[in-house]
Amino acid sequence: MPKSWAHYEGLYRHEDRVIFAYTVGSTRVLEYPSLIETGNTRVISRLLEIQAHDEPLWVTVADLTASLESIHEQEWLLGGARIGLGQAPTQTQWVQEGGQLRLQLPPATRAYQVEVVFSKRDEPLPSNLPRRDQSLQEWTHGGSVRWPEVLVTRGELASEDAEAAYVMDRLTLPDNNPYGLELRIGGFDFFSDPTTAAICTWDGDVWIVSGIDADLDTLEWKRFASGIHEPLGLKIVEDRIYTVSDDQITRFHDFNEDGEADFYENFNNDWELTSGFHAFLFDLHTDPEGNFLFAFGSPVRGGGRSFERMSAHHGSVLKVSADGSTLTRYASGLRAPNGIGVSPDGQVTTGDNEGTFVPRCPINWVEPDDFLGVVDSYENRDRLRTTATVEERRGGREPAWDRSEEPKPLAWLPKGVDNSGGGQAWVTSDRWGPLQGQMLHGSYGQSSLYLVLKEKVESQMQGGVVKLPLRPTSSVMRMRFNQEDGQLYLSGLKGWQSNAGRNGGLDRVRYTGKPLAMPNELHVTPDGLRVSFTQALDPGQAQDIERFSLRASDILWDQAYGSSEYLLGQRELAPDQKQTGWSSFSILKSELLEDGRSIRLTIEDWQPAHMLELNVDVTTRAGQPIRTQIHHTVHVIPESGKDL
């Protein structure tokens, strides 16, 4: 429906009252729903305060799903309900039209109120309903505090490991609260005072936490807003909180500055919704121009295979302009991407969740209008030869599959590495060790944090991950750097398909200043790999091929749920002719390069692979062990002579 016809502006909270604000045409309406108890009768009231308007207006009161009986000119029986008029202008008329019971309101030169009331069919409406004399405007400026409690917790600092460059501090959540709420964190961000942050929870709340300092001794938690529909992303812009939830981006206003939201503004709700239970809105970021970016999952069917009815926006990265006025589809073809990333220069990334058309969890390097793999949710699916799984999305075509149309994400990750991806972040801090400028990936499913090793070969982005040896409190869905202490904070929750330890968590990954020993670069060469490390390596071990092992497998992109793992060299075979398993590569030579921290591996029968696993067991020149795995995707091997 065009906004010029009708537009929901948001809702006001005033103590225990909720007042909705919307426009019909150019006329602004405030609506206050309430329950009135008079004697033994309970009445549901819709009180509308309507601004002046030049033309008649119609209020839909009920759909005529049963026979309508008139008691008198102002009271009706419909099914199990009794409907009446509490107060209205004198020329208000009841109208039956279009299968609905409506009120026709005459033009008005000033604001007025209309009240429609409902009770059970066998309970007569009271004749003495209270008259509403005050304007609803009086309840739109904030009321008294609803949640006065300030809950105090003490964070837990990690013990100082003698070798660890990074340790995990825990910001203890106020799970023991008077509201009986679990803080399953869907998103967070910091205010301009970086010792204070806002978090949103899957259960529908926003909390403010202060006292985020070096010691975490006194964390103070205050409930700020509630009743939001599954908010799984939060962003603070100019100290104003925004959340993204299933129904809208909400911008919160605290008019009386009492630490609680008074107006939940509908900043944008232009995307189309369906009744799908598994179609979440994930994460919230801004790009350098101030536009908001987030992901909208596809409506996955119960059990995970295929999809329910789709809207025009499902399975997409969506962009909302900085002023909230416009929504555009940035890229499409996603399944359930629980997190995105936006780099300082505006590069967009996403994860996704294994399932239909998603053979393994990818990390996507996203350009505008990209096809990200799921045909059903791809905006331009009619251009593909491969068809959607849902019949209505096929446009009358017979089911078909063309392997050449498979997506090429930055990386495909094995199940044990990531079975359900979270968001991404860039290391923007110069106080977080030797990884400045690099990309991080979080796993919701495996509750892990990874460094992303990426490169562009010809025009193709490709890369992989290496794990940071940390154990978060919960999963890893959202990540942000704090501008004050320069450290990485991450949050997550425990739902299905996650090995998270707790239902919610907010952690700080703190750099200790001790030497970091791990891989930090990987490049594909014409005859193998070049791997760089954060420290110089022991020369003898670096050139010992027994210190490295390499295996790989391919996967199958098609309409099925997930994929088996297949031996290499079978991509042209029909699916039922492929052999499952992992292929081993022989490493012919390991050469330590001049910088002392990079090795060149020469590999026999070198070829592209969807999933590559490189096992490393070496020590640094200083004697620090490096025992790790790199999981990488090789789409393109550079031509001889183009080695980096």
Give residue 59's domain range.
6-139
**What are the distances in angstroms from CA 495 to CA 143, 205, 277, 562, 613?**
35, 17, 14, 20, 28
What residue type is assigned to position 549 of the chain? S
Q: Could you give phi then psi for residue 405, rounded to 5 degrees?
A: -90, 5
User: 3-class DSSP state for residue 371?
Assistant: strand
Residue 624: inside a domain, yes or no? yes
281 domain residue, yes or no: no
- Could you tell me the CATH number of the domain that includes residue 613? 2.60.40.1220
Rounded mean pLDDT of 155-160? 92
Tell me the mean pLDDT in the region 392-421: 96
Residue 508 has pLDDT above 70, yes or no: yes
Q: Is there a contact between 314 and 377 (Cβ–Cβ < 8 Å)? A: yes
pLDDT tens digits for range 353-381 = 999 999 999 999 999 999 999 999 999 99
- Amino acid 195 reads T
In the prediction, which pLDDT does 354 show?
97
pLDDT at 644 > cutoff 70: no
* pLDDT value, residue 160: 78
* Length of the chain, in residues: 644
Instruction: Among 81-90, 196-205, 428-437, 476-485, name the one with the lowest average pLDDT.
Output: 81-90
CB of 371 closer than 8 Å to CB of 332: yes
Task: Give the mean model confidence (pLDDT) for residues 55-59.
Answer: 95
Query: Which of 115, 139, 163 is at the close of a domain?
Result: 139
Mean pLDDT score across all residues of the chain: 96
In 3D space, the residue among 1, 20, 18 whose CA is nearest the CA of residue 9 turns out to be: 20
At 264, is the secondary structure helix, strand, or coil? strand
**Of all residues in the chain, what percent carry a pLDDT higher than 90?**
90
Examine the pLDDT at 83 and tell me if it is beyond 60: yes
pLDDT, mean of residues 416-441? 98
Residue 527 located in a structural domain = yes
**How far is it, in rounded angstroms, from Cα 152 to Cα 48?**
41
Q: Cα–Cα distance between 250 and 294 in angstroms, integer?
A: 13
Q: How confident is the model at residue 643 (pLDDT cuts 50, 70, 90)?
A: low
CB 227 within 8 A of CB 176: no
Residue 150 lies in a domain: no
pTM: 0.96
**Nearest-CA neighbor of 337 among 360, 356, 353, 317?**
353
**Following CA atoms 35, 39, 40, 41 in sequence, which dihedral angle do they give, to the nearest 10 degrees?**
-40
| Token pair 């970086």 in the structure block, residue | 194
Residue 587 lies in a domain: yes
pLDDT, tens only, 323-332: 999 999 999 9
The number of distinct structural domains making up the chain is 2
- Nearest-5° angle of CA 82, CA 85, CA 87? 155
Q: Is residue 171 part of a domain?
A: no
State residue 641's pLDDT score. 60
- For residue 532, what pLDDT is reported? 99
Tell me the mean pLDDT in the region 376-392: 96
For residue 159, with 0-12 CB atoms within 10 Å meaning exposed, 13-18 middle and 19 or more buried, which class applies? exposed
Query: Would you say residue 608 lies in a domain?
Result: yes
Domain endpoint, select from 123, 139, 155: 139
pLDDT tens-digit profile of 91-137?
999 999 999 999 999 999 999 999 999 999 998 888 777 777 789 99
- Domain boundary (97, 114, 139) is at 139
Over residues 594-611, the pLDDT tens digits come to: 999 999 999 999 999 999
Share of the chain above pLDDT 70, in %: 99
- Mean pLDDT throughout 332-338? 98
Q: Is residue 552 part of a domain?
A: yes
What is the per-residue pLDDT across 206-218, written as a single tens digit (0 to 9) for each? 999 999 999 999 9
CB 210, CB 148: distance < 8 Å: no
Separation between Cα atoms, residue 11 and residue 232, nearest integer Å: 20
Find the mean pLDDT for residues 463-481.
Answer: 98
